[in-house]
């Protein structure tokens, strides 16, 4: 059985300027996991936004846990809030901004699993 507690995961500053905690990634685990995707928890402080970036081959899903913001995918923009799920197709330029007074927290699912050379800033 594998159980991860978010408070036990190390925070890092991602390429896109979000603070993330990687929860599961089959490419970074000591034990074998039958997963094609990775899962991370991301946070943006009030008035922060991620940098525009894109994945070369991976699709991504955001699930908003807390806070409010604006999601940008290519030429589209939409308000997001808790309970919203956002699909981001491969090669789409994307960024998210926190428009609220609380932290914007969301889960990120990347398929295939995230790796450093899989994305670039745009």
Q: Please, what are the domains in the chain?
A: 21-121 (2.60.120.10)
Distance CA 114, CA 109 (A): 9
**Alpha carbon distance 110, 35 (integer Å):** 11
- For residue 28, what pLDDT band results from cuts at 50, 70 and 90? confident
CB 43 within 8 A of CB 12: no
* Confidence category of residue 33, pLDDT binned at 50, 70, 90: confident
Separation between Cα atoms, residue 18 and residue 108, nearest integer Å: 11
pTM: 0.93
pLDDT reading at 51 higher than 90: yes
Mean pLDDT of the chain: 95
57 has pLDDT over 90? yes
pLDDT of residue 88: 99
Provide the b/e sequence for 97-112 (b: ≥16 CB within 10 Å). bbbeeeebbbebbbbb
């Amino acid at each position: 059985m594998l159980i991860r507690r978010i408070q036990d995961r190390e925070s890092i500053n991602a390429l896109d300027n979000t603070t993330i905690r990687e929860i599961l990634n089959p490419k970074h685990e000591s034990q074998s996991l039958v997963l094609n995707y990775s899962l991370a928890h991301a946070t943006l402080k009030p008035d922060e936004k991620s940098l525009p970036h894109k994945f070369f081959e991976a699709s991504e899903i955001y699930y908003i846990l807390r806070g409010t913001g604006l999601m940008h995918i290519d030429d589209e923009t939409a308000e997001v809030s808790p309970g919203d799920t956002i699909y981001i197709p491969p090669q789409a330029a994307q960024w998210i901004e926190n428009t609220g007074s609380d932290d914007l927290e969301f889960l990120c699912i990347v398929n295939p699993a995230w790796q450093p050379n899989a994305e670039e800033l745009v």
